[in-house]
Amino acid sequence: MTNFYAELDQVFTQHAGSPCLKVPGGLQWTFADLQANVGGLAAVLKSHQVEPGDRVVVQVDKSPQNLALYLACLRIGAVFVPLNTAYTPAELDYFISDAEPRLFVGRQTRSDVPTLTLDAQGGGSLITQMVAPQVSTAGVPGVAPRKDNDLAAIVYTSGTTGRSKGAMLSHGNLSSNAHDLTAAWGWQQSDVLLHALPVFHVHGLFIASHCALLNGSPMVFLPKFDVQGVQEVLGECTVMMGVPTFYTRLLADESFPRQPLDHMRVFICGSAPLTEPVFEAWEGRTGHRILERYGMSETIINTTNPLDGERVPATVGFALPKLELRIADEQGNPLPAGEVGTIEVRGPNVFSGYWRMPEKTADEIRKDGYFITGDLGTLDAQGRLSIVGRGKDLIISGGYNVYPKEVERLLDEVPGVKESAVIGVPHADFGEAVVAVIVPDNADLQLQDVLAPLQDQLARFKQPKQLVNVTELPRNTMGKVQKNVLRESYAHLFA
């Protein structure tokens, strides 16, 4: 295999005149339009001396041009580094220093690195430079030869120690998973994807987009998820991919669905646990059994419920055909069916390691190549996986990962806070909500007292939604804070 973009480019040529991407009330692209934009943006990148292997860090709003920029990076062999738009400038400083990009594409310019801009409407210096004489006369650069294991993207995930880790994904990782998902989900050219996910995360950028792009199918590209927007376009789509929050929010709208959904081929869900009540409510309301799957930044998709066959709520289905999956003890020894252990995976979709973190990589990828996901699960006799918890203290709020340590470190610096413990508790809308349990120095603190100093430091989705004052934190004999006790005590905070 070569450059993953070479495969996509063939599809774009083959379906040149077909609809590719439509923003409701906004622009519509054919595959030829997408291809032309990718070519134009590749030329702009080249004019900034972006070479194969160079990183391009991108923190911009979702737009078709944003997607084209990702593909342009693939085309020239650059490494695409998408960042959540919620990250604050302080967080961005870290990503820039860690990724050392040749170029930054953002909503605003920076002084420490060459910057181009791209706004929510698809305007900005990135776009105006497409018609600059030195860019247009240089022409569209060819598709850079790449090998399977050459780096295509770095996706930052929150770090257990507070520092984000960059998962390194190769052209081979992207290509193999895109093909496996096409097969598993019976993707057809006649499908129309409802794309309401952000494109800074593997779910929207790779999982959803690749299925549509690789099959020459159109997508309805919503700038963001909102119930009204989804209701308006659902009638023209056949596949929706979302996080559980999408499903709970749609169910919370009594007018949903406005019309029968017989034309929908499949509703796919993942990135966080989908509860059985939501699965059942969805089936009751729409007649569709949601297809739940399981993946992560480091591996894209690992397992999926079957398209044809029983979709069992609260399970995440079977390993993709080329993936080896085991439930293991702490030493990596496989455990028998029915026992709970850590989910470990090995296969062509599994990343090669964390960017410039050889020790972390060695901690999480075993010598035999299995990646220790940190999720706890159990396999039944047929090989169907259920996730029963997480080994790490990870919180998943609205589909986004929050590592408590990062929040606790900042909370502990807030005047009046003696110590803190951050937990996730069940929340109807977000799945889990971030809660700060603090021991105050003297007087009790209010949520707004701790939020003010966090505003500039921490993305909104990581900020606590509730604060609880306690006189001391529960600890085990080793002095470790018992998060499980806290999670139980405050489980009904949002009930």
Non-local CB neighbours of 152 within 8 Å, separated by 6+ positions: 4, 74, 79, 80, 146, 169, 170, 171, 173, 174
| d(C-alpha 312, C-alpha 378), whole Å | 14
Q: Which is nearer to ligand AMP, 191 or 393 (CB)?
A: 393
Token output for 354: 């964390």
Q: Which is nearer to ligand AMP, 279 or 294 (CB)?
A: 294
Compute the least distance from the CB of residue 348 to ligand AMP, in Å. 18
Q: Which is nearer to ligand AMP, 26 or 391 (CB)?
A: 391
DSSP state of 203: I
* Radius of gyration of the chain from its Cα atoms, rounded to whole angstroms: 23
Compute the least distance from the CB of residue 446 to ligand AMP, in Å. 31
Compute the least distance from the CB of residue 397 to ligand AMP, in Å. 11
426 preceded by cis ω (within 30°)? no
Q: β-strands 400-402, 395-397: how paired?
A: antiparallel
Compute the least distance from the CB of residue 361 to ligand AMP, in Å. 16
Compute the least distance from the CB of residue 456 to ligand AMP, in Å. 23
Selection from 208, 76, 58, 64 nearest residue 151 by Cα: 76
Compute the least distance from the CB of residue 61 to ligand AMP, in Å. 19
Q: Which is nearer to ligand AMP, 220 or 343 (CB)?
A: 343
Q: Which is nearer to ligand AMP, 176 or 297 (CB)?
A: 297
Token output for 335: 């455990």
Compute the least distance from the CB of residue 290 to ligand AMP, in Å. 10
Q: Which is nearer to ligand AMP, 157 or 176 (CB)?
A: 157
Q: Which is nearer to ligand AMP, 33 or 393 (CB)?
A: 393
| d(C-alpha 393, C-alpha 152), whole Å | 29
Compute the least distance from the CB of residue 344 to ligand AMP, in Å. 12
Q: Report yes or no: 315 and 305 within 8 Å, Cβ to Cβ.
A: yes
Q: Report yes or no: 315 and 384 within 8 Å, Cβ to Cβ.
A: yes
Instruction: Scan for tokens 């993936």, then name that residue.
Output: 323
E runs forming strands in 259-406? 266-269, 291-296, 300-304, 318-319, 324-328, 341-346, 371-379, 385-390, 395-397, 400-402
Q: Which is nearer to ligand AMP, 64 or 317 (CB)?
A: 317
Compute the least distance from the CB of residue 400 to ligand AMP, in Å. 7
Amino acid of residue 160: T
Token output for 364: 């999480």
Q: Report yes or no: 371 and 298 within 8 Å, Cβ to Cβ.
A: yes
CA 250 centroid distance within chain? 20
DSSP state of 140: P
Q: How many other C-beta atoms can be found within 10 angstroms of the C-beta atom of residue 335?
A: 15
Q: Which is nearer to ligand AMP, 217 or 303 (CB)?
A: 303
Compute the least distance from the CB of residue 172 to ligand AMP, in Å. 19
Q: Which is nearer to ligand AMP, 115 or 157 (CB)?
A: 157
Compute the least distance from the CB of residue 360 to ligand AMP, in Å. 15
Q: Which is nearer to ligand AMP, 53 or 277 (CB)?
A: 277
| d(C-alpha 480, C-alpha 474), whole Å | 8
State the angle between helix axes of 31-47 and 4-14 in degrees (0 to 180), rounded to the nearest 10: 140
Binding site for ligand AMP (CB under 6 A): 157, 202, 270-273, 292, 294-297, 316, 373, 375, 387, 390, 396, 401
Q: How many other C-beta atoms can be found within 10 angstroms of the C-beta atom of residue 142?
A: 11
